[in-house]
Amino acid sequence: MKKQEFLEGIRDGIPICLGYFSVSMAFGLTAVLSGVPIWAAVVISLTNLTSAGQFAGMNLIASQGALIEIGLTTLIINIRYFLMSISVSQKVEQKMTMKERLAVSFGITDEIFAVSMQRDHELTTAYMAGLILTPVLGWTGGTLVGAAATSFMPPALSNALGIALYGMFIAVIVPPAKEHKNVLFAVVLAIALSVVCRYLPVIKNLSSGWTIILITILVCVIAAWCFPVGESEEEG
């Protein structure tokens, strides 16, 4: 039974793995171009498993940001996983031990959360292990391939491929922004605040890390105020 559930988890995690592989290649490329060794880029992906947080953290590392900047920025970006883990904890089997729960919480990502919450049965340790394993391999493997590829490319080509990161973010943002006005509002607001912070006295002197923290908090507060979730939506 456990083997079957483990294999079901692997099967459900394969599409996530394939998607992560291509995105993490861009991270590996970005990391090496920022001066991070290949092995360090792979370790970062293996121990973090968070795309937006890793990219933001890497940018701060490249710009020699302070540790507190890097810590707060990644905390704010990744704090959504706290809420996701609470939701997943309501579906896991009762006999799951604390160590197993901690291991599962490490592997929670947006896509893994979505797949696990759609499963009709309770979430067993074996199933979650399989569901998390394949995306972790894809994310880490993609980072290794992307980082290693830079050593075989001419500098001009590897630098040009850095634009893949911006293309990835556009591909992630545009579809939901076209369908949901609250997402579009948040994106436009973030862009507007970024421009304002670039030229506003005092604020423009802040480092990129503190600017990201400030803009993220402002966008979250304003968007939550403008688009509150009603009780009927919460129950649904």
Could you read off the pLDDT of 160-170 as tens digits, one per residue?
666 665 666 67
Q: Looking at the structure, do residues 134 and 206 belong to the same domain, yes or no?
A: no
Question: What is the pLDDT averaged over residues 107-114?
Answer: 89
Q: Looking at the structure, do residues 92 and 57 belong to the same domain, yes or no?
A: yes
Say if 147 falls within a structural domain.
yes
Of 89 and 229, more confident: 89
pLDDT tens-digit map of 1-47: 588 999 999 999 999 998 889 888 888 988 988 889 999 999 999 99
Q: Residue 92 phi/psi, 5° resolution?
A: -75, 155
Quick one: what percent of the chain has pLDDT higher than 70? 89
Q: Looking at the structure, do residues 134 and 184 belong to the same domain, yes or no?
A: no
Q: Looking at the structure, do residues 14 and 97 belong to the same domain, yes or no?
A: yes
Which residue is associated with the tokens 């509002």?
185
When computed from its CA atoms, the radius of gyration of the chain, rounded to whole angstroms, is 19
Say if 174 falls within a structural domain.
no
Alpha-carbon gap, residue 75 to 216, rounded angstroms: 11
Of 5 and 208, more confident: 5
Q: Looking at the structure, do residues 220 and 141 belong to the same domain, yes or no?
A: no
Q: Looking at the structure, do residues 31 and 134 belong to the same domain, yes or no?
A: yes
Q: Residue 162 phi/psi, 5° resolution?
A: -60, -20
Report the first-to-last Cα separation within the chain, whole angstroms.
Answer: 32
Q: Looking at the structure, do residues 147 and 187 belong to the same domain, yes or no?
A: no
Please tell me whether residue 180 adopts helix, strand or coil conformation.
Answer: coil
Say if 167 falls within a structural domain.
no
Amino acid of residue 132 = I
Query: What's the token pair of residue 158?
Result: 């590897």
Say if 170 falls within a structural domain.
no
Among 3, 11, 232, residue whose Cα is nearest residue 119 = 11
Alpha-carbon gap, residue 50 to 78, rounded angstroms: 8
> In which band, very low, low, confident or very high, does the pLDDT at 192 lie, cut at 50, 70 and 90?
very high
Residue 233 has pLDDT above 50, yes or no: no
Number of domains into which the chain is organized: 2
Whole domain around residue 16: which residue ranges?
A: 2-161
Q: What is the pLDDT of residue 159?
A: 65
User: Can you count the helices (H) and strands (E) in the chain?
Assistant: 13, 0
Q: What is the pLDDT of residue 231?
A: 42
Question: What is the pLDDT averaged over residues 177-186?
Answer: 86
pLDDT tens-digit map of 66-97: 888 888 888 888 888 888 888 888 889 889 99
Say if 130 falls within a structural domain.
yes
Question: What is the pLDDT averaged over residues 192-216?
Answer: 82
CB 116 within 8 A of CB 131: yes
Q: Looking at the structure, do residues 18 and 76 belong to the same domain, yes or no?
A: yes
Say if 172 falls within a structural domain.
no
Q: Looking at the structure, do residues 190 and 217 belong to the same domain, yes or no?
A: yes
